[in-house]
Amino acid sequence: MASGAVIIDHADTRGLDARRSTAARLGYPAAAFLAFAALAYLSIDLTRGEGRIAVVWLPNALAVAFLLRPTAPHEPALFAAMFVGNVLANTAVGDSLVTAASLALANSAEIWLAVILVRRWCGNRPDMSNTHDLARFMICAGLVAPIASAAIASLTLVGAAGLAIAPILRWAMSDALSMLILAPSALVLHDAIANIRKPTPPEISDWLLLTVGGTTLTFAVFYQTEFPLLFLIPPVVVAHAFRLGALGTAFSVIKVASIALILTQLGRGPINLVPASLDVQILVLEGFLASCMIVGLPVAAVLATRDRILGELAAGKKQLALLADNITDAILRYDIDGRCTYASPSVRNVLGLPPSRFLGRSSSERVHPDAQAAVSDVEEALLTGKKDKERFTYRRYLDGADGSPVFIEADCAVAFNPETGEREGIIVSARDVTNRIELERKLKRATAHA
């Protein structure tokens, strides 16, 4: 009976897993279809102005950000769902089925190309706080993919509008600018939520101060239409980057974008000084916001990289200090001229003198006369390239407290420059082997006596 109960439990578990898997296979594509269709329709309907191409294109950037965080299975189904959602949105705004499908294909190609290139160059989880990943992401997703998408869309746009180049440029610019603003922000926000932690009191103070001050200044800049005060906004974004990192930068740009878009559409802000239609003004504003992101995120990434490197150096230094303080062998480093540049704390116990008595001095200055020739021969062989390693035993410079000789065994190895491969000096690891030497001498005497 117990065995049967176990079998039933396993069957129930397998059934539950199967239902969850089915729900995931159906749920993710359904959500992708609805989200892409809604965002595409809103982007076209609200920001196309008198033309056909939206100047703020949200779905591609958010889709790329979603796909670059491996949380959703069945990517082919997701791409198919987003394609169908895009076709539905295009037909809803008046496109024929052929035009709707052609433009949706261009968007799908852009998303696919951006994801593939970023994964190839940055791995499955590009880090927007890493300067290399950020630069490669901007090139792949913010430049190459939109250009390729515009090239595909041009086959339809040229046929619909003649040989006009404006729709193609607008397509490429709107996709590229939205990708540069939204996709990094979404990735940064996802990572912040996934690794959420309690902020420190200084961080809370910085968030409050920069949020209140930055929001007030942004509102003041975009509420008035008399002066071109856009130059006041980048310092706000950079301040967020310095104090709050990538998350603060993304938050700042999204906040500025929200305030600027609303006020610009209401006829306020410096963008309205541009003598153009509203859709062109929004495209100019989008370019300005993208430039803020391009300035702010690299600053945050450089600072994060610096902090990471400093942390690694501090951890490495701590580890080396731990080893140096607890190792029993005396460790010394001599440069190519034979001058001591490092002596571990254990030098005092092994060689009988504090480390400071060795630093800056040559090896021959702290050698017993009986060992002078042996030390010079080893040093000459290592520094001239005759040998790379050598082990030898010599008499210590200072005798023991009772006046008896102290013998040291030293392992010497050449230190090579990792970049040039040239010899840079000698690393010495030394230990007291007096007891062993005395035992060997006693054995020799006993053998001779026998």
Residue 211 Cα distances to 2, 223, 239, 251, 272, angstroms: 62, 18, 11, 9, 25
pLDDT band at 4 (very low <50, low <70, confident <90, very high): very low
Short-list 43, 25, 179, 38, CA closest to 111:
179
CB distance 350 to 342 below 8 Å? no
- CA–CA gap between residue 409 and residue 411 (Å, rounded): 7
Short-list 180, 173, 183, CA closest to 54:
173
Tokens 């200044």 sit at which residue? Answer: 217
For domain 328-449, the CATH superfamily is PAS domain (3.30.450.20)
Query: 3-state DSSP call for residue 411?
Result: strand
| pLDDT tens digits, 286-306 | 899 999 998 898 999 888 888
Q: Is the pLDDT of residue 13 over 60?
A: no
Q: Where are the domains of the chain?
A: 16-194, 197-326, 328-449
Structure-token pair, residue 388: 């790379």
pLDDT band at 81 (very low <50, low <70, confident <90, very high): very high
pLDDT of residue 17: 55
pLDDT of residue 307: 87
Note the pTM of the prediction, 2 decimals: 0.70
Say which CATH topology domain 16-194 has.
Arp2/3 complex 21 kDa subunit ARPC3 (1.10.1760)
| pLDDT tens digits, 401-442 | 888 888 989 999 998 888 888 888 899 999 999 888 888 888
Q: Is the pLDDT of residue 314 over 70?
A: yes
Cα diameter, the chain:
113
Of the CA atoms within 13 Å of residue 209, those in its CB half-sphere come to: 10
CB distance 179 to 61 below 8 Å? yes
- CA–CA gap between residue 361 and residue 340 (Å, rounded): 6
* DSSP structure string for 250-275: HHHHHHHHHHHHHHHHTT-SGGGGS-
Question: What values do phi and psi take at 130, rounded to 5?
Answer: -105, 125
